[in-house]
């Protein structure tokens, strides 16, 4: 009975630690994406504690994970540098994205249901039609969301937890690049959605070669836009 009680307490404690770590990670990610901390910026532990509302112990547990994921660098006696958006970072992030999403589209050709593919096409065409009629910031935000969810759908469809985790980490870098470089605009969104529709049509036809080629072209176009800016 005592051993069971100890085991139960240990599991409960572990769950609490995991919850605190996830909360801290989410807070850091939100601060990055909202621009409260900027790529390349050097901050102190105290800066992050005050900004994120974390305890010193929670921050110290978070920092090794963020450093391992390449989102910051801890510099002893000098502070913490948030990863900068530069040409090597952009190239590395998009190369990682290509390798993951190429595999995802291979899986999708064989497993993504017809009705899901049809719904994605409907969503994309609606946004393009409304954008042509009357572009608004709200519509662009919706398009940005549809863009992100389309890629997340393909990755989640793999049911491969390692791939999903790697994609989610890399997507933070991609989202930072988009915020700083290539956020979907009235001029960029139609081209991005045209790329998506090429992928969607290839998936609908279960055409593996066309789906791979369309995805590779899409990632290349996104990378080239980031590098140009």
Which two structure tokens, joined as six digits, stand for 104?
């995802």
| Average pLDDT of the segment spanning 22-46 | 86
Q: Where in the chain are all domains bearing CATH 1.10.10.10?
A: 2-82
SS (H, E, C) the chain: CHHHHHHHHHHHHHHHHHHHHHHHHHHHHHHHHCCCCCCCCEECHHHHHHHHCCCHHHHHHHHHHHHHCCCEEEECCCEEEECCCCHHHHHHHHHHHHHHHHHHHHHHHHHCCHHHHHHHHHHHHHHHHHHHHCCCHHHHHHHHHHHHHHHHHHHHCCCCHHHHHHHHHHHHHHHHHHHHHHCCCCCHHHHHHHHHHHHHHHHHCCCHHHHHHHHHHHHHHHHHHHHHC
Model-level pTM? 0.77
Can you give the pLDDT at residue 146? Answer: 94
The answer to whether 184 and 154 are in contact (CB under 8 A) is no
Q: Where in the chain are all domains bearing CATH 1.20.120.530?
A: 87-228
Which two structure tokens, joined as six digits, stand for 160?
């491969």
Q: What is the CATH number of domain 87-228?
A: 1.20.120.530
pLDDT digits (tens, 9 = 90+) for 98-156: 999 999 999 999 999 999 999 999 999 999 999 888 878 888 889 888 998 999 999 99
Q: What is the CATH number of domain 2-82?
A: 1.10.10.10
Distance (Å, rounded) from C-alpha 35 to C-alpha 51?
Answer: 12
**Which of 16-30, 107-121, 125-139, 159-173 has the lowest average pLDDT?**
16-30
Distance (Å, rounded) from C-alpha 130 to C-alpha 135?
Answer: 7
Distance (Å, rounded) from C-alpha 78 to C-alpha 142?
Answer: 41
List Cα–Cα distances, 21 to 67, 116, 153, 203, 209, in angstroms: 14, 34, 25, 38, 41
pLDDT digits (tens, 9 = 90+) for 51-97: 999 899 899 888 998 888 888 899 988 899 998 888 888 999 999 99
Start-to-end CA span in the chain (Å): 64
The answer to whether 51 and 183 are in contact (CB under 8 A) is no
């Amino acid at each position: 009975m005592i051993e069971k009680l100890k085991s139960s307490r240990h599991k409960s404690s572990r769950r609490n630690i995991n919850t605190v770590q996830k909360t801290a990670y989410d807070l850091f990610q939100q601060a990055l994406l909202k621009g409260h901390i900027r790529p390349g910026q050097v901050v102190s532990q105290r800066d992050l504690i005050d900004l994120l509302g974390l305890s010193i112990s929670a921050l110290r547990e978070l920092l090794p994970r963020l450093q391992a994921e390449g989102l910051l660098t801890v510099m002893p006696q000098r502070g913490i540098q948030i990863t900068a958006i530069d040409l090597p970072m952009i190239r590395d992030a998009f190369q990682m994205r290509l390798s993951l999403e190429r595999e995802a589209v291979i899986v999708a050709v064989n497993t993504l249901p017809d009705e899901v593919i049809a719904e994605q096409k409907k969503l994309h065409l609606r946004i393009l039609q409304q954008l042509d009629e009357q572009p608004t910031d709200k519509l662009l935000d919706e398009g940005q969301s549809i863009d992100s969810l389309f890629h997340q759908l393909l990755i989640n469809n793999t049911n491969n937890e390692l791939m999903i985790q790697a994609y989610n980490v890399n997507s933070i870098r991609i989202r930072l690049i988009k915020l700083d470089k290539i956020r979907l605009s009235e001029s960029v969104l139609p081209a991005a959605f045209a790329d998506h529709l090429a992928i969607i049509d290839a998936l609908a036809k279960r055409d593996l070669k066309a789906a791979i080629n369309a995805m590779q072209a899409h990632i290349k176009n996104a990378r080239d836009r980031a590098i140009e800016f």
